[in-house]
Amino acid sequence: MKRIVGSRLTGAVVFLMAFALLSGCDNNGGVIPVSDAIYLITVTNMTSNQPLSPLAAVIHFGGYTGWEIGTSSSTGLESLAEGGDPTDFLAGAAGNSNVQVISAGSGVILPGASDTVTLTTAESPDLRLTCAAMLVNTNDAFTGTTDVVVGDIGIGESRRIFLHPYDAGTEVNDEAASTVPGPAAGGEGFNAERLERDFVSAHSGVVTQDDGLGTSVLDESHRFLSPVAEIIVTRIQ
Partner 1 sequence: MKEKNIMGVIVSLLISLILAAPLPAAELSIEVTNLTHGIYFTPLLITAHDSATHLFQGGTPASSSLRLMAECGDVSELIIDLGGEDADTVANPAGGLLAPGSSVSASIDTMSTGNTHLSLVAMLLPTNDGFIGLDSLPIPDAAGVYVFHINGYDAGTEENSELLDTTGCSPGMPGIPAAPGGDGGTGGSGVASTDSNTAVHIHRGNLGDTEAAGGVSDLDSRIHRWLNPVARVTITVQ
Distance of CA 41 to the CA centre of its chain: 8
Question: Three-class SS of residue 80?
Answer: helix
Beta carbon nearer to partner 1, 77 or 180 = 180
**Where does this chain touch partner 1 (CB under 8 A) — which range of 27-35, 62-70, 190-198, 223-231?**
223-231
State the number of binding residues for partner 1 (CB under 8 A): 32
- The answer to the question of residue 152 lying near partner 1 (CB under 8 A) is no
Site string for partner 1, 33-52 (x = CB under 8 A): -----------xxxxxx---
Interaction between residue 116 and partner 1 (CB under 8 A)? no
Q: Report the 10 Å Cβ neighbour count for 186.
A: 12
User: Rule CB under 8 A: is residue 111 a binding residue for partner 1?
Assistant: yes
Dihedral over alpha carbons 81, 168, 161, 126 (to 10 degrees) = 100
Instruction: Transcribe 185-200 into DSSP letters.
Output: T----------SS--B
β-bridge mates for residue 120, sequence order: 38
Cα 84–Cα 191–Cα 169 angle in degrees, nearest 5: 75
Nearest one of 131, 129, 127, 130 to 151, comparing CA atoms: 127
193 lines the binding site for partner 1 (CB under 8 A): no
In terms of Cα–Cα distance, which of 96, 91, 100, 97 is closest to 60?
Answer: 100
- By the rule CB under 8 A, 155 interacts with partner 1: no
Residue 114 binds partner 1, judged by CB under 8 A: yes
**Residue 46 vs 77, nearer CB to partner 1:** 46
CB 133 within 8 A of CB 43: yes
12/91 with CB nearer partner 1: 12
Among 113, 149, 202, 236, the residue binding partner 1 under the rule CB under 8 A is 113
- How far apart CA 50 and CA 48 sit, in angstroms, is 6
Query: What Cα–Cα distance (Å) separates residue 200 from each residue in 68, 94, 178?
Result: 7, 21, 22
Shortest Å, Cβ 142 to partner 1: 16
Binding positions for partner 1, 12-31, rule CB under 8 A: 12-13, 16, 20
Rule CB under 8 A: choose which of 106, 162, 178, 201 binds partner 1. Answer: 162
Q: Which is nearer to partner 1, 5 or 31 (CB)?
A: 5
| Binding segment toward partner 1, per CB under 8 A, in 5-13, 52-60, 83-91, 138-146 | 5-13
Residues that bind partner 1 (CB under 8 A): 1, 3-5, 8-9, 12-13, 16, 20, 44-49, 111-114, 162, 210-211, 220-221, 223-228, 230
